[in-house]
Amino acid sequence: MAYTPHTPADVEIMLKSIGASSLDDLFRDIPAELLLDKPLDIPAMTEFEVDAYFEERAAENHNWIPGRNFLGAGAYQHFIPSASLYLIGRGEFMTCYTPYQAEVSQGTLQAIYEFQSHICSLTGMEVANASMYDGATALAEALTMAIREKRKNIAYLPELLHPHYREACESFVQGLGMELRTIPANGAQTDYASLMDSIEPCAAVVVATPNALGGIEDGDAARALADKGNALLISVVNPTSLPVLAAPGDYGADIACGEAQPLGIPLSFGGPYAGFFASTKKLIRKMPGRIVGKTTDKDGKDGYVLTLQTREQHIRRDKATSNICTNQGLFALLTVIYMTLLGKEGLTEVAETSLARTQQLADGLADAGIRLFDAATPHFHEVALKLPISADEFRHRMKEDHGILPGFELKNWYPNFPEAEKLLLVNCTEVHTGADIDRFVEAAKSVVGAEAVAQA
């Protein structure tokens, strides 16, 4: 979008129209101690010099070849068809806003309806809303929904929930008086059975599968614990895994949510992304956000409308379930395009290839003396490795000597794990070829040394 500066005359007209005498008057409600009392320290530069400066800063970013990047940890590199980004860039989508006027928003409403339908198909749930901000806030909204349903203020979250998700949940529920308790881990899997005799009546039990270590959880065990606590079961899932793993609906989840980024959204330095949110039909009126429905007009033609809008703009503020508005509608549409282009067979192929490449890497690394943190727990496309040297040294040498970004150092998330400094989280998707895996394995052998390989 082009930059259109405001002239002094423009500013004067706008201030006059809202009854403000000056820019200082416009911001008079902001406490004085929060206002900058001196000019910004910005050097005088020509437009050409500014361009050159930012080109130099941009050049400092390393653009990793997909096959050399094995970093996941919550944001995953997948192949995105060129048609996806072309279609999302069309003006009809790029400039669209909340579709309040159904008669002039049929295209946007249909796209959102298709998004909801795809999410229901993937998760095995009965209803889905029109997207959330991201996966972390989708889980936080699920917890507040559980409070409304169960009238309890305790929720049980797994130790192996992605730490960023837990942080978002803590921020959301701090004003609601909700207590977040932890379900302990046993290796790379959550030990739901350990709390069966001690769980208290609560609002929610959360299962995250695959979890932060890549492990696949036992959905039935999580359902049993939720039943013992008379709670809703909230399932946090990676949508890419669902063509090959059990869907939340298969093990009786009440709510399913997660991050839609793997469904065709570029990494983009960590966002913006889109979250998805689905539930059983009996919870539909407590669901946050909006739901698009399909109907017919007087001529019998298909029509799309905003069926449920439990927001503060539409009902009493104290009855609203959320203040979600425009949110990530554009990115929800991007996931629709991606899923439609790939279809059921394509999505399954992506999942199966990602799983196969990860297993190939794990098998190859075993010959280099590199073991899995927990070989007994099944995984999808991400595994925690236990290295014979520190993860920091391994990561540095793989990057500097071999041009490979090998993964994420788990000591940043779980510093209290045994030998946490040696744990590395590695991810493979369909963008990694067999040759990429072989290159990683040979580089790893070189880095860990002959002694570790011999011990293998």
242-258 mean pLDDT: 98
Q: What is the mean pLDDT of the chain?
A: 91
Tell me, what's the pLDDT at 307? 85
Assess if CATH 3.30.70.270 describes domain 66-78+343-455.
no
Tell me, what's the pLDDT at 341? 96
Q: What is the DSSP letter of 311?
A: B
Tell me, what's the pLDDT at 78? 97
Give pLDDT tens digits for 166-178.
Answer: 999 999 898 888 9
For the chain, give every domain's residue range. 66-78+343-455, 82-338
CATH of domain 82-338: 3.40.640.10
Inter-residue contact 136 to 317 (CB < 8 Å): no
| 1 band by pLDDT with thresholds 50, 70 and 90 | very low
Give pLDDT tens digits for 213-226.
Answer: 999 999 999 999 99
Least trusted range by pLDDT, from 5-19, 190-204, 393-407: 5-19
CA end-to-end span of the chain, whole Å?
56
Instruction: Report the alpha-carbon distance of residue 385 to residue 367 in Å, rounded.
Output: 13
Instruction: Tell whether the model's pLDDT for residue 61 goes beyond 80.
Output: yes
Measured CA distances, 184 to 192, 223, 256 (Å): 8, 16, 21
Instruction: Report the alpha-carbon distance of residue 18 to residue 15 in Å, rounded.
Output: 5
Greater pLDDT, 217 or 95: 217
Instruction: Tell whether the model's pLDDT for residue 10 goes beyond 60.
Output: yes
Instruction: Tell whether the model's pLDDT for residue 104 goes beyond 70.
Output: yes
Q: What is the DSSP string of 118-184?
A: HHHHHHT-SEE-S-BS-HHHHHHHHHHHHHHHH---EEEEETTS-HHHHHHHHHHHTTTT-EEEEEP
Instruction: Tell whether the model's pLDDT for residue 456 goes beyond 70.
Output: no
Nearest to residue 392, comparing CAs of 375, 406, 371? Answer: 406
